[in-house]
Structure 1
Amino acid sequence: MEKLRNFYRKYLKNYLVLLFVIAVGIDLVIETLARHSLIQSVAFLFGHPLVSISNVLLIFAIISLSMLFRRRIFALVLLGMIPMAVGIANGVILSNRMTPFTVKDFSNLKDGAAIITTYFSTVTLILAIVGIALLVFGGVILFRKAPKLDRKIQYKQVIAVILIIGLLTVGVIKINTKTGVLDTFFANLATGYSDNGVVYSFMVTWIDTGIDKPRDYSKEEIEGIFSKGELGEDNIYTPGKDDDTDVKSKPNIIYLQLESFIDPTRVKDVKFSKDPVPNFRKLMKEYSSGYLTVPAVGAGTANVEFEVMTGISAKFFGPGEYPYKSVLTEKTCEAAPYDFKQLGYGTHAIHNHRGAFYNRNKVFANMGFDTFTCLEYMNNVMKTPKNWAKDSLLTEQILDALNSTEGSDYIYTISVQGHGKYPTEQVIENPAITVTQYQTEEQRWAYEYYANQIYEMDLFVKELTDTLSNYDEDVILVMYGDHLPALDMTEDSMADGSSIFQTQYIVWSNFDMKKKNMDINAYELNSEIMSRLGMSVGMMNKYQQNYKDDINYKQNLKALSYDMLYGKRYIYGETNPFKKTDLKMGVKDIKVTDVVKIGENYYIKGENFTEFSKVSLDGKILKTVYLGPTILALKEEVDPEDASRMKVSQVEKNKEILSTTE
């Protein structure tokens, strides 16, 4: 104890030195939470001193603000909790997914709250709430009991010191970024955090958003990307006018994005009692297939579908950014649905999860969809042990969309069954597939759960292809996994030598198509499919089909993406030709045919009700009991004169109204 006192008197009595030591300690805790290992955290601290000093200085700059307060201890604790909160949130998130915590996650708080019970047990949530309450209580006690400075603060000196610390921090970071010690772009977000430290990386996701403006951005530069006359005499793209819409073959085109779907046998050191994906494997041999490079690992479904539909690489945006949560909430964007509408297609989106998740119920109107059928419009929903909807019901939903129009249809289907978190204890009794070789017990149960979900998804793929084989119209079905599952896979984990950013895809059809195997980026998939069908529609498709081998291909692709979403839209003649669609929620009409009073209770008769159907009156949701797809019971008193005005609304888990009957 005496040695500690002497150490304090000699080295820590100076408040700035104390702050720096605390900053080092906070950084060590944050990195330990991220790496789930104190040894790895210490190794990173001393093995990468220039990176570590950048992170420590950022924390140091934050907690140095405590010098402005007389209650320095209280202010220090409060300010120190800012980076600590980031570290704790990151550690918790990394225990459930492979993508670290970013500033963009704040825009997902509503979505996160809706699925939090899927990731955490009730006991864990209660403990978390108790912990937060104790922290608040401790903060109040600290505010009351912590000592105050007994001298007047010299604000001019203190502010000068804080400014010097801030300038030192900025200077060190600038030097480290220019010399390549710190990265400014993260090709892999998880690796970026691991290589650059949590605090710095989190800051980058805050500062770096949107698509960077090209250095030579101008009307001449954008219009010069295409050859003269390629987009008409004016060299700008006008939908319809500059498209070749006289296409002989217009098959129905279905995209099926399979949640966390990969071939589990691609993973080293894990063996299964039987093949988890026999049908998908068979189809890969018989039809066009290959590796699909996606922008996400373990999470990020929305960015994969964004790439496939828009032709824009999600890597053009800031680290961890979701366009569905940013620019697409405000603007329309040229996307596959708009392109197919030029050819007379009906356009439909299907997702067996919440319609408001990632703002899809709003964003899809800005991408050209006519309809969006989400979980709230589906019946006979079966759930996994982790409470995700199973995919088998999607066959019926796809057929409903196909049959909803007389012409051809473009359908983008997003599955959810394979979603994590994957349990580290046994939850499936008598599983169809067992893990026969594994490294740890936790790995065994996580892979066993995953393999059984993938096995059922594979059976769904067979059911869907069998059904579409007998459909009386031509159909192309493009199937692929959206990303690797959140099972701590690394490059070294993959037995086939593939990247952790590669899933697999199949182009299936119920008519003869030439087999063509190739590896491809997700943002190029749609242009490739349209090219095989002889479709030259849409500015982005034209560019990708004609310039993929150009030396400036990616540079110009990024420039066009900036111009479309953030620039002056020179490529469209400085206008926005894409109008927001009147998105219809659900393919089937939900109707109220009669309101009947029996005794003291009202019953609403109609069509296509689901468990998410609620009786509403003047926008107010009333207590409702779902009795079946044709009848609802009202468990609330209403004025008889108001009964005739009652409607039915589809209400999602977070109480957001998705649609209401006319």
Structure 2
Amino acid sequence: MGKLKRFYRKYLKQSLVLCALLALGMNLFIETMARHSLIVSLGFFLQYPAVFLFNTFIIFATYSIVLLFRRRIFCYVIISLPWLALGITNGIILLNRMTPFTVKDLANAGDGLSIATNYFSSGTLILVIIGILVSIAALVFLFLFAPKKREKVNYKRSIAAVLVIAIGFFGIWQVAVKTKTVETFFGNLAYAYQDYGVPYCFISTWLNTGIHKPANYSENLVKNIFNGDELNDKGVYQPKKSDQDEKYPNILFLQLESFIDPKLVEGFSYSRDPMPNFRQMMKEYSSGYLTVPSVGAGTANTEFESMTGISVKFFGPGEYPYKSVLLEKTCESIPFNLKYMGYSTHAIHNHRGAFYGRNKVFPNLGYDTFTSLEYMNNVVKTARNWAKDGLLTEEIIDAMKSTKGRDYIYTISVQGHGKYPTEQVLENPAITVTEAPSEEERWQYEYYANQVYEMDLFVKELTDSLSRFDEDVVLVMYGDHLPALDMTEESMKTGDLFSTQYIIWNNFGMKKEDKNLTSYQLGAEVLDQVGIHEGLITSYHQNYQGTSAYMRNLETLAYDMLYGNAYIYGGKLPFKKTKMKMGIKQIKIDKIVQIGDDYYIKGQNFTEYSKISLDGEVLNTIYLGPTILGLREKVNPEDVERMKISQVEKNKEILSTTE
């Protein structure tokens, strides 16, 4: 301890100098973790010194707070921890997906922890927990025993210094933006982090949220967007209820997780075609490339765009509307608009119902039902513990049969999800990689290609079933984003990391019309092809796409609907939150049976996520089959008749309870 004190007095007494050196080293560490290379990080410093030093100053400004305290070593460590956490977390995330770490990811922390075992071994997670506990113990030790400044803090001088640095921070930030050293709009989040530095971009994802208020925002500005008959005599849009769904087909969307053509990636060859059925359908039905808003992750944002027709680029960088505005209010969407026409609306997802908060968001998007993994039986898992997609055929058909009229069904698959193993995990795979740049990539792409192959078989099974259905059906299929496989624009034959492919399959002979679209245009295009023009955003895309103010006016409409005064609706949103039912099939209790001291509940449509509950408390339950559950704890016999069945997801959230 004596040596530490002498070292501190000799070298570390000049606090601002030390702050600058620590900031420089910390920024180098953060960029090295992001780029997974010290050499590449140093190259970034040499190529863009102004950007690197700007990010260093951001970190330096936070270190300057130590001037206000005597326990400076302890303060240096405390301030360093968030920056270290940022660097390490971002580095780990970029090993598993292609989108960097943002403040918005903190809102998804619960979702991330729920699937941590799909990415990391139990041993790794235990080591992380041990590391956290050791760090806490070390902090306590530092607080108690680390040397502190002998002299009292001159608060007038220290506060003045901190204020000068703070003012300098805001001034330098403005100069960096005005001189285009950094940008405030991130067209590609991954590239922005590489070009403008991790600290600046991470903070920007915190400061820049929602949709910015348009210049000269007013009622006239909003209403003058339209020059046709989209608005009523009062110059506003008011949806009208009708019962005309029988004139139109069932409309199905199938969003395929991380689904692309593996043959579009340079440097790989396969023993057979991984997606022969999808490829053949692209030749027979309307198809093309689909520009999606994310790469390697971000499924919920592709959903948002295709359901609402609104681009997520209008929001803050890395923002998920599911985790922000859609938790609070409704939004015009295809489900809402089709409900006005008499359609029933369903969402299906073979993963956790609470993931991305879908069980809370979907009522604000107009869904009548949501069938998630917790309501499904006969679930088969991949080697990476994701549910396979084959069971979705039955779920989709059941949803269509559950109503007399037409249905809109939005299905989100999960089988293609990463992480993709760097070692062999599949025995006797249907497809083998015959050529790859490296051994690790061979196993990653072999695993991925086999998931695509099985998803392609599911697509064939689904379309075969729908072709026999006695109602007209349109099925839109597309990949939500590229898989997290370290792809680059140079490695893609398309030259684009944001392009997947789509097909508009049907069972009644629609004309083939090929074109490239964005995911926020897809819904309007499909509806246009079947003759539906209901909905303000839908008609906007159908009538104004290609005009000079197309994107600017779309952003104005999005702001007005979600954050503004709803001028376009006459000042009040016409869409009311639905009373969404979880699951298509009714879960019910037929009778409660007592055998000795044990109770068993017989009923219908139980799953492995069905739990016996009493007054909102989940009881210890054993799943014995879709018609019987066993109670594994003692209850008061007088309470037995009040027992119910709750569907409880992985993180213990109750999704629904029988009445």
1:343 to 341, 344, 361: 341
Structure 1 counterpart of 2:520: 523
- For residue 325 of structure 1, the aligned residue among 323, 326, 333 is 323
* TM-score of the superposed pair, with normalisation by structure 2: 0.97
Q: Please, which moves more after superposition, 427-436 or 196-205?
A: 427-436
Mapped pair 1:133 → 2:130: no
Q: CA deviation at 1:167?
A: 2.0
Paired letter, 2:561: M
Could you tell me whether the CA contact under 8 Å between 1:255 and 1:479 is conserved in 2? yes
The question of 1:501 aligning with 2:495 is answered: no
Number of the residue aligned with 1:300:
298
Quick check: 1:613 aligned with 2:613? Answer: no
TM-score by length of 1: 0.97
* 1:495-541 superposed Cα distances (whole Å, 9 cap, x missing partner): 2x341100000000011000000000100101111111111101111
Q: C-alpha displacement at 1:10, in angstroms? A: 11
Aligned AA for 1:41? Answer: S
Question: Which residue of 1 is the match for residue 446 of structure 2?
Answer: 448
Contact 1:62 1:80 in 2 (8 A): no
Deviation at 1:549, TM superposition (A): 2.2
Matched, 1:148 2:145: no
Q: Judge conservation of contact 2:369–2:584 (CA < 8 Å) in 1.
A: yes
Deviation at 1:274, TM superposition (A): 1.0
Equivalence for 2:283: 285
Note the residue ranges of structure 1 that are not aligned, 5 or more in a row: 1-6
Task: Kindly report which structure 2 residues correspond to 1:410-559, keeping only aligned pairs within 5 A, or say none.
Answer: 410-495=408-493, 497-559=494-556
Q: 5 Å matches for 1:352-371? A: 352-371=350-369
* Residue aligning to 1:647: 644
Aligned counterparts, 1:167-186, within 5 A: 167-186=167-186
| Cα drift, residue 345 of structure 1 | 0.6
Report Cα offsets for 1:573-624 as digits up to 9, x if no partner: 0011100000000001001010010111111011000000000111111111
Distance 1:14 1:378, change over 3 A: same
Q: Partner residue of 2:202? A: 202
CA distance in 2, matches of 1:261, 1:230: 36
TM-aligned CA distance change 1:239 to 1:557, over 3 Å: same
2-structure distance, mates of 1:177, 1:82: 25
Q: Using the alignment, how far apart are the partners of 2:229 and 2:619 within structure 1? A: 60
Partner deviation per Cα, 1:339-398 (whole Å, 9 max, x = no partner): 111111110000000000011001000000000000000000000011000000000000
Contact 1:264 1:451 in 2 (8 A): yes
Partners of 1:39 and 1:229 lie apart in 2 by: 60
* Structure 1 residues 87-131: Cα deviation after superposition (integer angstroms, max 9, x where no partner): 111111111111111101111111111111111111111111111
What CA distance in whole angstroms lies between the structure 1 residues aligned with 2:8 and 2:176? 32
- Residue 590 of structure 2 is matched in structure 1 by 593
Distance 1:245 1:604, change over 3 A: closer
Q: Residue type of the partner of 1:212?
A: H
> Is 1:14 aligned to residue 14 of structure 2?
yes
Distance 2:246 2:645 in 1: 43
Given the alignment, which residue of 622, 630, 633 partners 1:633?
630
Is 1:311 matched with 2:305? no
- 1:229 Cα offset (Å): 4.9
Report the alpha carbon displacement of residue 48 of structure 1 after superposing the two structures with TM: 0.6
**TM-fit CA distance, 1:14:** 2.6
In structure 1, what residue type is equivalent to 2:89? A
How many aligned positions are there? 655
Unaligned stretches of 5+ in structure 2? Answer: 1-6
1:4 alignment partner in structure 2: none
* Equivalent position of 1:71 in the other structure: 71
- Aligned partners of 2:646 and 2:654 also within 8 Å: yes
What is the CA-CA distance between 1:12 and the residue it aligns to? 6.8
Compute the displacement of 1:191 (Å): 0.7
Change (3 A) 1:154 1:430: same
Counterpart of 2:109 in structure 1 is: 109
Contact 1:54 1:169 (8 Å CA) reproduced: no
What is the match of residue 232 of structure 1? 232
State the one-letter code of the partner of 2:291.
Answer: T
The 2-side partners of 1:593 and 1:41 are apart by 65
Distance in 1, matches of 2:200 and 2:251, equals 44
1:262 matched to which residue of 2? 260
| Structure 1 residue 9, shift from structure 2 partner | 10
SS in structure 2 opposite 1:70? coil
C-alpha separation between the residues in 2 aligned to 1:457 and 1:549? 35
Q: Give % identity.
A: 61
